């Protein structure tokens, strides 16, 4: 299968211009004179604010400030980077890490867990939180905006994702019946779990909003005898999904449509959305609820599988800016803004947070194993950015900064629902 991406030259504009040009190689020894007293004071103050965790900062003159026996040493190469960090720590940390202007000596995961943990342990300052949220407010997901945001992440090339995702190319949280099972098995188990929760019956119709490379839609048709219409705005993903349907002889039962969830037409027994709500944006939850209301038959049911949070707040600014533009991880209360206005009845919510941590651990290991090939495809900065994104997400799920909710719902008052979850999940 072809891919439009074979070198760094086809990076999306937000990346190519900012952090991944050939100019952004690690800058070795590029110090900018003596470190001022006020800079040392600011580092100490910053470390104190986040509770003096076991880390040290090494400034461009080589002096280490912070914990005496640090678990990680963060090297900041120049004055400009230092002052950028003070202006917007999350955004500039990510950019400087990708550029090589910041290096982390020690275990990157442990370092990021310390940071997430320290952040969570702080009493929440409402003003500071509001300011931080305003700065990292996700971009609007208008129809045009959503398309460009999705191109940004998902159209950088199937070949890249194929290097380190599982065989079925499922780019959402897996479900590990036991922590020891392989990623391949865990992704298959997740597809099966979603189908069981939805108690699919042969001949039923399903609409999927945000179908990735089509793994769930194909699984449903293959194993449950349903007909699926699957939507996605990513051109590359839809093309691959269609090829897969054809190769399996499932084109008659799985239709892949290159369009936005707001373009869904028709009436279906089941609505499924796995890993799309993150891209919808909180301003559009009510609209999504209307889409579901409009396309679900009486007696219909659905599932929303999404990254979430224990309390409302924006994603890390760097992730939102460089990795997932327009993305937002909702709290459970916010998710209800999709379902409550049309009185959908929540039947079941499951939090698979630790399963996403384990999924990311697998992805990161597989990514590191192919890092030289990724660097050849793009450049070293791209590899560092993806390393930070994967390890940072792993840290976020391990510390509880992010959650993973599967929310099963049905039409209000529908009594044709499984009697118990025990029956639903039994072999």
Q: 150: burial class by Cβ within 10 Å (0-12, 13-18, 19+)?
A: buried
Which residue's CB is nearer to a second copy, number 354 or number 371? 354
Return the residue of 51, 144, 179, 225 that touches a second copy, per CB under 8 A. Answer: 179
Return the residue of 144, 177, 299, 372 that touches a second copy, per CB under 8 A. Answer: 177
Binding flag, residue 398, a second copy (CB under 8 A): yes
Binding flag, residue 412, a second copy (CB under 8 A): yes
Q: Name the CA radius of gyration of the chain, rounded.
A: 22
Least Å distance, CB 387 to a second copy, is: 23
Report which of 86, 114, 81, 72 is spatially closest to residue 99, judged by C-alpha positions: 81
Binding flag, residue 359, a second copy (CB under 8 A): no
Q: Which residues pair with 404 in a beta bridge?
A: 307
Distance CA 114, CA 258 (A): 41
**Binding mask 305-334 vs a second copy (x if CB under 8 A, - otherwise)?**
-----xxx------------------xxx-
| Cα dist from 280 to 128, 241, 294, whole Å | 26, 21, 17
Side-by-side strand order, sheet with 64-66:
64-66, 55-58, 72-76, 102-106
Binding flag, residue 298, a second copy (CB under 8 A): no
SS3 409: strand
Which residue's CB is nearer to a second copy, number 242 or number 301? 301
Binding flag, residue 125, a second copy (CB under 8 A): no
DSSP 206-233: EEEES-TTSHHHHHHHHHH--EEEEEES
The separation between CA 353 and the C-alpha centre of its own chain, rounded to angstroms, equals: 12
Least Å distance, CB 394 to a second copy, is: 13
DSSP 4-62: S-SSGGG--HHHHTTT-SGGGS--TT---SPPPHHHHHHHHHHHHHTT--SEEEE-TTS
From the list 99-107, 141-149, 265-273, 344-352, the region that binds a second copy by CB under 8 A is 344-352
Least Å distance, CB 283 to a second copy, is: 17
Q: Determine if residue 324 is left, alpha or beta; phi over 0 gives left, psi from -120 to 50 gives alpha, anything else beta.
A: beta
Return the residue of 9, 28, 87, 178 that touches a second copy, per CB under 8 A. Answer: 178
Binding flag, residue 299, a second copy (CB under 8 A): no
Residues binding a second copy: number (CB under 8 A): 44
Binding flag, residue 176, a second copy (CB under 8 A): yes
Which residue's CB is nearer to a second copy, number 100 or number 117? 117
The site for a second copy (CB under 8 A) is made up of 117, 120, 175-179, 310-312, 331-333, 336-337, 340-341, 343-351, 353-354, 398-401, 403, 405, 412-415, 417, 419-422, 425
């Amino acid at each position: 299968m072809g891919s439009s991406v074979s070198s760094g030259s086809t990076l999306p504009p937000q990346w190519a211009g900012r952090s991944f040009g050939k100019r952004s190689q690690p800058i070795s020894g590029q110090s900018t004179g003596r470190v001022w007293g006020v800079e040392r004071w600011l580092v100490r103050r910053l470390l104190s604010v986040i509770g003096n965790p076991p880390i040290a900062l090494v400034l461009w003159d080589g002096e280490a400030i912070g914990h005496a026996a640090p678990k990680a040493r963060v090297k900041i190469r120049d004055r400009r980077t230092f002052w950028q960090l003070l202006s917007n720590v999350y955004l500039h940390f990510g950019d400087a890490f990708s550029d090589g202007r910041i290096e982390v000596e020690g275990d990157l995961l442990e370092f990021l867990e310390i940071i997430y943990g320290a952040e969570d342990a702080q009493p929440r300052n409402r003003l500071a939180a509001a300011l931080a949220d305003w700065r990292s407010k996700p971009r609007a997901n208008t129809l045009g905006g959503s398309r460009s945001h999705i191109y940004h992440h998902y159209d950088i090339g199937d070949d890249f994702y194929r290097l380190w995702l599982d065989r079925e190319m499922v780019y959402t949280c897996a479900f590990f019946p036991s922590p020891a099972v392989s990623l391949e098995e865990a992704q298959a188990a997740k597809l099966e779990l979603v189908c069981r929760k939805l108690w699919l019956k042969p001949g039923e119709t399903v609409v999927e909003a945000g179908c990735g490379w089509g793994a769930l839609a194909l699984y449903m048709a293959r194993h449950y005898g349903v007909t699926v219409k699957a939507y996605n705005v990513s051109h590359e993903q839809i093309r691959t999904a269609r090829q897969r349907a054809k190769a399996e002889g499932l084109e008659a039962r799985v239709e892949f449509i290159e369009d936005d969830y707001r373009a869904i037409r028709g009436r279906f027994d089941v609505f499924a959305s796995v890993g799309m709500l993150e891209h919808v944006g909180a301003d559009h939850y009510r609209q999504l609820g209307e889409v579901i209301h409009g396309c679900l038959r009486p007696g219909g049911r659905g599932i929303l599988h999404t990254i979430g949070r224990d309390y409302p707040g924006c994603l890390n600014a760097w992730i939102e800016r460089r990795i997932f533009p327009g993305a937002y991880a909702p709290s459970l209360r916010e998710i209800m803004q999709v379902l409550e206005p049309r009185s959908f009845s929540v039947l079941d919510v499951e939090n698979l947070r630790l399963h996403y941590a384990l999924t990311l651990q697998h992805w990161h290991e597989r990514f590191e194993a192919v890092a030289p090939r990724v660097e050849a495809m793009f450049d070293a900065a791209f590899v560092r950015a993806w390393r930070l994104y994967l390890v940072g997400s792993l840290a976020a799920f391990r510390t509880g900064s992010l959650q993973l909710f599967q929310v099963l719902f049905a039409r209000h008052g529908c009594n044709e629902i499984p009697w118990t979850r025990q029956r639903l999940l039994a072999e």
